[in-house]
Structure 1
């Protein structure tokens, strides 16, 4: 499955999730204090990612399609 990258948008994330609250859901609230810069549609669901998380997601899943 291809991933899709969006500019970070809290409204893309499910209510009550780390991504919806403005945190990096790729690393988790306790492990990452950086603000997310992107929202990704991944095989594991919507992920909010900080800049470091963006690189890790793209290394894992490959280059994203534009969202």
Structure 2
């Protein structure tokens, strides 16, 4: 399944998740102090990603399709 990259938007993330609260859901709010810059739709669900996580996600899943809201 290809991944899709969006500009970070808390509304794309489920209520009560790290991504919805403005944290990096890839690294976890406890482990990452960086603000998310992107939201990724992945096979594991929606992930909020800081700049460091963006590279890790794209390395794992491949180049994303980019969508604008």
TM-score (norm. length: structure 2): 0.96
Q: Name the residue aligned to 2:56.
A: 56
Q: Secondary structure at the match of 2:58?
A: helix
C-alpha distance in 2 between matches for 1:49 and 1:65:
15
Q: Name the residue aligned to 1:24.
A: 24
**Superposed displacement of residue 66, structure 1:** 1.2
Runs of 4+ in 1 over 4 A off after TM superposition: none
Aligned length: 67
Query: Tell me, which stretches of 5 or more residues in structure 1 are unaligned?
Result: none
